A and B are shown apart, each in its own frame.
Chain A
Amino acid sequence: MGVHAVEITNRGVYQYNLGRRLSRDIVLAARKMGRVGVAFGRYSDSPERNGIPMKWFAVIADDNDELEEQMAKYYPEVVDAAIVLDDTILKGVESWSWDGLHPVNERVKEKGVMIVVSNQSHDELLKDVHSKDLPYKLITIPGEASFAGMWVIRDDKSEARIMGALAAALPDMLSPDAVKQIFKDKVDQDAAERAAKQLVTRVVEPGEGNPAEPYRYELPVWQDLTEYGIAVVGMGKGGGYHGGKEGYEPTRSTTFRKHLSRTSRPVTNFDACTQTRDCWLNCPDEAYNVTPDGYFEVDYGACAGCGKCAEVCPEKIIAMVPESEFEDEASVYDMWKKDAAAYGKFFQAKAAKGWVKGQIVGPHGYIRKGQYDEEIKKTGIK
């Protein structure tokens, strides 16, 4: 059987517990099969931050010598399966400054699998996933991304379903029987079995997917670090909007963007905007530019998708729209300036897919006591 490795990419904080449990489940299930394993997170992800993608790993082997070779590493070099717990992560993973953009399928070995929890079609997903030189299988488990919070975790059966799916996708690595053994509860076992039957699989050929080149940075050699040592030059102080004399646009980091932390992005109905400035004022990521005509334009490279702006807008004219609705980071302000009527229609269509202040739609964190239980009840899971 050799060595098998699994990589789990999840949203920081919201899916931390789920990712961790899955990495452990893989090792525990492997143990039922008489194999040894190690589960670990990525040290530099720690502490995990709301929304910022992070990773867990499980490596299993037939004996301790084989396993030892894989230990004391930050990552396995290649993985048999990459599990992605939130399909918006497929746009790429930018974990910290200078790390650059990493495709989610980067480590998937030739003919390996990528398992994604998603309700989208494969074609839609492949618009986001970067193309690889090697063939692999794309497998989706139908469903919403599992979202709980930091302290309050409610079991929506994602754990069981994903383990069931993994066993079905990689029978060489995990047997369905082993998965059954680690879930004592019949409801979990059933969920695992059902998920195994619900998988939608497709082979992805070399070159298929998002053709965009993931940006990377070259880390300096030590000689180039002697000038400043452990200091770095500060950020610029910004200036006029798009280099002009009016408005304001901050200088933004060139080595770290928050855009890949998002599951949804703010879109403004500019026609209805009364320019209260609350969105701009409340943004913890300084993502808003101030246009010369006094409007507030999101720089989608910088926006982390927290939803504060939508929530504080007194006019309720900012909609948080799922990332799956967008293929690029084009400015919606530019769109509106070009053709306000067309933009109006665009806004209505997008807003319908998301939420404005007062609405609760889609994956989210803790909102009020009891609400997770209500949602679980709605899914019919006992």
Chain B
Amino acid sequence: MVLEKAKIGEEHEALMSGCEAIAVALALADVDVLTGYPIRPYDTVINYIARLIADGQMDADLIHAEGEHSQFEIVKHACVTGARVFTGSSGVGWVFAMEPMVTTPPARIPVVAICGNRAIDDPGAFGCEHNDQYLVRDVGWMINWADTAQEALDLILMSYRVAEDPRVFLPCSLGVDGSFLSHAMNIVKLPSKAQVDKFLPRYDRGKLRLHPDNPISVAVQVNEDWLQELRRTVNEGAIASKAVVEQAAKEFYQIFGRQKNPFFEEYMTEDADMVLVGAGTLSLSVRANVRKLRKEGKKVGFVRMKWLRPFAAEEVRECLSRFKAVGVIDRDYSYGSPDFSGIMFHEMRSALYPAKKHPLFVNFICGLGGREIYEADVREMVKVMENTIKAGEVKETVTWVGTRSR
């Protein structure tokens, strides 16, 4: 049974896009301050937020910033003052906000944002690529990816829960693939306000709050006598975040019945020889084609990464070392990197280095600029993995799948 219009606060189902689902999650989470600036495809979420505020379904102030740099600065400082905040951007807009973004984690500020994954200029293109969100992976942002509107809603709530945990206090970005997740509409189960309140405690910054009752000076200038120790303290937060993600996922599952697997989801991996690994909406095409290939007798599975930061290295090692071959699908690029491959490939291959068993690692760069992942592409990936297993070694590390060439 599908309702026409979402009624925030009651448990029910509705037909909505990823962006709208996120907007609903924000209303349920009682977000206080949001900022927006137009850039596609993330900005649809701001349209929905504005509508909810205008219709009295969200009590929050939405600031229309004059640029992404200000957008992210506003929420950063609003958050230090104790407000639960939200913002987002895409592609070069995300890049324009880099300065506030990198300065957010060191001050332990739990900003939650979405990255509406979009190719970075030049040339300009609106289609989905993951490089934008990856840009913050080293500086203390937690990052995760949703593959359905449902999961977008769920991961927003999870992101607040983890980010605002005092053991963590780090910002978190949810990757929302442009068009496929941001705009396509699916049935989404909306939780009740009571359920969300049960899961998400009030944001309390304690001694780190900026308020006349607590006169602190935040982010004072330092030199070589201080910075190494201060970075170490941020590292503690990143380390702590892993356990918090696990705990939060457990609690989420108890209340909502979803997010059983905290860091990644395995699909048809039980007796697989080879697995594909990827994040975001490419999972939809990959899963569909894995089913087809399984019917044809291919022992292939798929591991869908949700959280890339914190990186669950032990769990990933334990999972991937079971297989003979691992094909990492990168909807991104990392020019000039080792073996000229993609970012997730580097993360996975390096995480597997200490494992007792090393699968054969290959990389598939595909889906760039929002290009669909076609059945032919998945078949090609599986073929490459099969050949690699047969050869017993990796002959060619990277394949640019689905690229027109002679």
Q: A195 vs B224: C-alpha distance in the bound complex, in angstroms?
A: 39
Is A233 an interface position by the 8 A CB rule?
yes
Instruction: Name the distance in Å between B199's Cβ and chain A's nearest Cβ.
Output: 27
Is B38 an interface position by the 8 A CB rule?
no
Is B234 an interface position by the 8 A CB rule?
yes
B107 touches A231 (CB 8 A): yes
Is B185 an interface position by the 8 A CB rule?
no
Is B338 an interface position by the 8 A CB rule?
no
Stretch at the interface among B52-60, B83-91, B212-220: B212-220
Contact residues, A223-250 vs B (CB, 8 A):
225-235
Q: Which residues of A contact B261 (CB under 8 A)?
A: none
Which residue in chain A gives the minimum CB-CB distance to B230? A230
Instruction: Name the distance in Å between A122's Cβ and chain B's nearest Cβ.
Output: 35
Q: A226 vs B235: C-alpha distance in the bound complex, in angstroms?
A: 10
Contact mask A4-43 → B, CB, 8 Å, 1/0? 0000000000000000000000000000000000000001
Is A151 an interface position by the 8 A CB rule?
no
A229 touches B106 (CB 8 A): yes
Contact mask B202-246 → A, CB, 8 Å, 1/0? 000001100000011111101111101110111010000000000
Q: A65 vs B387: C-alpha distance in the bound complex, in angstroms?
A: 53
A230 touches B106 (CB 8 A): yes
Q: A224 vs B381: C-alpha distance in the bound complex, in angstroms?
A: 51
Q: A232 vs B106: C-alpha distance in the bound complex, in angstroms?
A: 13
Q: Which residues of A contact B220 (CB under 8 A)?
A: 230-232
Q: Which residues of B contact A235 (CB under 8 A)?
A: 215
B215 touches A98 (CB 8 A): no
Is A326 an interface position by the 8 A CB rule?
no
Main DSSP-derived SS at the A contact region: loop
Instruction: Name the distance in Å between B232's Cβ and chain A's nearest Cβ.
Output: 4
Which residue in chain A gives the minimum CB-CB distance to B227? A230
Instruction: Name the distance in Å between B3's Cβ and chain A's nearest Cβ.
Output: 45
Q: Which residues of A contact B106 (CB under 8 A)?
A: 229-230
Instruction: Name the distance in Å between B302's Cβ and chain A's nearest Cβ.
Output: 39
A231 touches B215 (CB 8 A): no
Instruction: Name the distance in Å between A235's Cβ and chain B's nearest Cβ.
Output: 8
Out of A96, A98, A222, A231, name the residue touching B208 (CB < 8 Å): A231
Contact mask A166-178 → B, CB, 8 Å, 1/0? 0000000000000
A227 touches B216 (CB 8 A): no
Is B183 an interface position by the 8 A CB rule?
no
Which residue in chain A gives the minimum CB-CB distance to B222? A230
Q: Which residues of B contact A226 (CB under 8 A)?
A: 233, 236
Q: A234 vs B213: C-alpha distance in the bound complex, in angstroms?
A: 11
B217 touches A232 (CB 8 A): yes
Given contacts A226-B233, A230-B107, A230-B230, contact A96 B218 (CB under 8 A): no
B208 touches A74 (CB 8 A): no
Q: Which residues of A contact B236 (CB under 8 A)?
A: 226
Is B108 an interface position by the 8 A CB rule?
yes
Is A221 an interface position by the 8 A CB rule?
yes
Is A219 an interface position by the 8 A CB rule?
yes
Q: How large is the interface on B (under 10, 10 to 19, 20 to 34, 35 or more residues)?
A: 20 to 34
B217 touches A222 (CB 8 A): no
Q: Which residues of A contact B228 (CB under 8 A)?
A: 222
Q: Which residues of A contact B232 (CB under 8 A)?
A: 222, 225
Which residue in chain A gives the minimum CB-CB distance to B206? A227
Q: Which residues of B contact A228 (CB under 8 A)?
A: 207-208, 216
Contact mask A93-109 → B, CB, 8 Å, 1/0? 00010100000000000
Out of A74, A96, A98, A227, name the residue touching B207 (CB < 8 Å): A227
Is A220 an interface position by the 8 A CB rule?
yes
Q: A227 vs B214: C-alpha distance in the bound complex, in angstroms?
A: 14
Q: A226 vs B225: C-alpha distance in the bound complex, in angstroms?
A: 16
Given contacts A229-B234, A230-B107, contact A219 B224 (CB under 8 A): no
B218 touches A231 (CB 8 A): yes
Q: A229 vs B208: C-alpha distance in the bound complex, in angstroms?
A: 9
Which residue in chain B gives the minimum CB-CB distance to A44? B223
A234 touches B217 (CB 8 A): yes
Which residue in chain A gives the minimum CB-CB distance to B106? A230
Q: Which residues of A contact B217 (CB under 8 A)?
A: 231-234
Q: Which residues of A contact B224 (CB under 8 A)?
A: 43-44, 74
Q: A225 vs B228: C-alpha distance in the bound complex, in angstroms?
A: 11
Contact residues, A189-229 vs B (CB, 8 A):
219-222, 225-229
Q: Which residues of B contact A227 (CB under 8 A)?
A: 207
Instruction: Name the distance in Å between A100's Cβ and chain B's nearest Cβ.
Output: 11
Q: Which residues of B contact A225 (CB under 8 A)?
A: 229-230, 232-233
Q: Which residues of A contact B108 (CB under 8 A)?
A: 229-230
Q: A232 vs B222: C-alpha distance in the bound complex, in angstroms?
A: 11
Contact mask B102-121 → A, CB, 8 Å, 1/0? 00001110000000000000
Which residue in chain B gives the minimum CB-CB distance to A220? B229
Q: A98 vs B221: C-alpha distance in the bound complex, in angstroms?
A: 12
Out of A221, A231, A232, name the residue touching B229 (CB < 8 Å): A221
Q: A31 vs B103: C-alpha distance in the bound complex, in angstroms?
A: 45
Q: Which residues of A contact B223 (CB under 8 A)?
A: 43-44, 96
Q: A233 vs B210: C-alpha distance in the bound complex, in angstroms?
A: 11
B225 touches A222 (CB 8 A): no
Q: Which residues of A contact B233 (CB under 8 A)?
A: 222, 225-226, 229
Q: A232 vs B214: C-alpha distance in the bound complex, in angstroms?
A: 11
9 further A-B contacts with Cβ under 8 Å, apart from A226-B233, A231-B220, are A44-B223, A96-B223, A219-B226, A222-B230, A225-B229, A229-B233, A230-B222, A231-B107, A231-B217
By a beta-carbon cutoff of 8 Å, the part of chain A in contact with chain B is 43-44, 74, 96, 98, 219-222, 225-235
24 A-B pairs with C-beta separation under 8 A: A44-B223, A74-B224, A96-B223, A219-B225, A219-B226, A219-B229, A220-B229, A221-B229, A222-B232, A225-B232, A227-B207, A228-B208, A229-B233, A230-B106, A230-B107, A230-B108, A230-B218, A231-B217, A232-B217, A233-B216, A233-B217, A234-B215, A234-B216, A234-B217
